[in-house]
Amino acid sequence: MKHPPPWSVGALYLRLGNTTFGGGDPTMAALQRELVDNRGWLTAEQHGLAYGLARVTPGTNVLAYCAATGWMLAGWLGSLLGVSGVVVPSALLSVWLCGAYDAYGVNPWFGAAMSGVVAAAVGMMASSGVSIIHNRAKGRWLVPGLLFAVISVGAMRFGLLSPLKILALAGALGALYGDAPAGEASA
Amino acid sequence: MNPLVIYLVCVKATLTSFSGMGSLPIIREEFVVQRSVLTDRQLSTAIAVGRAGPGPHGLYMVAAGYFMAGIPGAAAGCAALMTPAFLIIVLLQRLGRYRENPRVRGAIRGITIAAGSLVLSAVVPLAQDAWSAALPVVVSVVSFAALLWTKIDTFWIVAFGAVAGVAGLWLGA
């Protein structure tokens, strides 16, 4: 496999990470196409290992994927450039948008637009929660998964447990129940 | 708000999630409920801002950090979003063989489902804040359905919300 210079790695992640909308999966798909198919910088096996481990790394999957593939290509510097190339420009855009919110928040038209955007965000969050549960509560996990979901919502809404304790309990129960290997899993 | 505290709380939230929005319940619990340094409206705005552009969904932490402590807060949120990603290198070096372990996979599946449930639970107070009239309810429902059942880009959902809000003011809705 080729070992590109770190700046080439950073430039590629900068370009793909900031021109692909829709979150992590489309970005990882674009990176796979470029890294494996077009440039031959990684093998399909290396991509598979990074993709699989990114799913079990805490935090944002796509950033873990960038850290892993950047490290495979150009060591720690490649990893740092890969992750920051995807995050920093988008973060700067977020800060600029927040600044606009601060500056124009009192304008009634801007305020009305933001109220609509906030209402849309409520729909986004609800769809995000449903989609997370729908993607994981499948096969032998359908019934226990839905049970986990209902109990978690109830425990949170009625203030029985903190979010951290709910997640820890869910992790412990999930480990006890177990899961099928990746090839046999339904999700 | 001290940016270091923002960083530490955001790292804690990120370390206990396996998706971009999975950190939201802990962020809300810590900053909105316990410390009262962020309002539900600011958090909803941060989510919308984070998803208005490209990049990972967890970017809302940058905007939330900005609302709490300006540029240093945004930098703290950004650093906290990035930090846990590098754990994968340790996993690559030492723990790669455990990724197919049924217990490990089960634990992650359980945590992820619980995180999705907690995101749903966190929607309730945000909706109570946002739903001041009929129009925001319609916008939320349309956004929810469009994101769940179509491949439409999130950017267009954010744009739809903004246009609907302006149209509502213009029409007096």
Question: Would you place residue B11 in the very low, low, confident or very high pLDDT band (cuts 50, 70, 90)?
Answer: very high
Q: Is the pLDDT of residue A186 over 50?
A: no
Q: Say whether both B47 and B97 belong to one domain.
A: yes
User: Which value, to the nearest 10 degrees, does the dihedral of the CA atoms of residues B151, A48, A9, A37 take?
Assistant: -70
Total length of chain A? 187
Q: Say whether both B22 and B88 belong to one domain.
A: yes
Range in A81-85, A132-136, B59-63 with the lowest mean pLDDT = A132-136
Q: Say whether both B31 and B85 belong to one domain.
A: yes
Question: Do B78 and A114 make contact, defined as CB atoms within 8 angstroms?
Answer: no
Q: What distance in Å separates residue A25's CA from the closest CA in chain B?
A: 9
Q: Say whether both B86 and B112 belong to one domain.
A: yes
Give A-chain residues touching B112 at CB under 8 angstroms. Answer: 132, 136
Q: Is the pLDDT of residue A173 over 80?
A: yes
Query: Which domain range does residue B8 map to?
Result: 3-130
Chain B interface includes A160 (CB < 8 A): no
**pLDDT at residue number B66:** 95
Q: Say whether both B113 and B154 belong to one domain.
A: no
Q: Which of B47, B81, B79, B80 is nearest to B64 (CA)?
A: B47
Q: Say whether both B119 and B151 belong to one domain.
A: no
| CA nearest to B131 within chain A | A119
Residues of chain A with pLDDT > 70, as a percent, come to 93
pLDDT digits (tens, 9 = 90+) for B26-64: 999 999 999 999 999 899 889 888 877 777 888 899 999
Domain spans in chain A, listed from the N-terminal domain onward:
1-104
Question: Do A152 and B121 make contact, defined as CB atoms within 8 angstroms?
Answer: yes
pLDDT digits (tens, 9 = 90+) for B78-124: 999 999 999 999 888 876 667 678 888 888 888 888 878 887 888 88
Q: How many domains does chain B have?
A: 2
Q: Say whether both B91 and B157 belong to one domain.
A: no
Q: Say whether both B83 and B146 belong to one domain.
A: no
Give B-chain residues touching A127 at CB under 8 angstroms. Answer: 143-145, 147-148
Q: Say whether both B146 and B101 belong to one domain.
A: no
Q: Say whether both B53 and B124 belong to one domain.
A: yes
Residues of chain A with pLDDT > 90, as a percent, come to 26
**pLDDT at residue number A181:** 61
What ipTM was reported for this prediction? 0.75
Q: Say whether both B15 and B71 belong to one domain.
A: yes
* DSSP line for B102-146: HHHHHHHHHHHHHHHHHHHHHHHHHHHHH-SSHHHHHHHHHHHHH
Q: Which of A95, A117, A5, A125 is nearest to B75 (CA)?
A: A95
**pLDDT at residue number B140:** 94
